Structure 1
Amino acid sequence: MLMSPELVAEINTLLLFNVADPQEGIKIHKDADPALIAAAGRLHDKGLLSQPDGGYLTLLGREAAEHLHMARTIVTSPPQASSVS
């Protein structure tokens, strides 16, 4: 199953957060990309963001963002040489 554009926008929104600093939030301005504004609203409705325009990650949002950051690191890493024993 492919991801919908809405889900991709939500993932990209969560990836904007610095998971190393839980006191660092984001502010999505009203003149931002409408897809980003809508994604933040949906994430807030799902309980992942503290505010509809960004704010801070909730505990659930932080966990989701950490997993997404890890997945991005894994899939963007250079291929490892396979070792056959």
Structure 2
Amino acid sequence: MPFTSDLIDEMNVLVKFSLSSELTGIKVHSDADPLLVAATERLYDKKLVTAKDGGYLTSIGRDAVEHAKEALRILKSNH
């Protein structure tokens, strides 16, 4: 299954989260890019974040961020 533009938008939201602390979240304001707002709402619907506007990562959301950041690191490497 290829990445859709919606999935890419969701991945871009996920990589904005810091994994250094479970108390670090994000807030996507309603006047932000509509694609970013919609992606964040989808992540909430998928139970990866705690609020429609971001909030904190759930347990599965934290796993998704770890994998997304690792994939990004691999794809950006110069192997």
Taking only the aligned residue pairs, the percentage that are identical comes to 46
**1:13 corresponds to which letter in structure 2?**
V
**1:44 corresponds to which letter in structure 2?**
Y
Point out where structure 2 has 5 or more consecutive residues left out of the alignment: none
User: What TM-score, normalized to structure 2?
Assistant: 0.94
Q: 1:18 aligned to 2:18?
A: yes
Point out where structure 1 has 5 or more consecutive residues left out of the alignment: 80-85
Aligned length: 79
- Would you identify which runs of 4 or more consecutive aligned residues in structure 1 move more than 2 Å? none
State which structure, 1 or 2, has the greater radius of gyration over its C-alpha atoms. 1
Which residue number in structure 1 is paired with residue 45 of structure 2? 45
**2:23 corresponds to which letter in structure 1?**
Q
User: What TM-score, normalized to structure 1?
Assistant: 0.88
Q: In the TM superposition, what is the alpha-carbon distance from 1:31 to its structure 2 partner?
A: 0.6
Q: Distance in 2 between matches of 1:62 and 1:28?
A: 18
Q: In the TM superposition, what is the alpha-carbon distance from 1:36 to its structure 2 partner?
A: 0.4
Q: Distance in 1 between matches of 2:63 and 2:55?
A: 16
**What RMSD in Å do the two structures reach over aligned CA positions?**
0.9
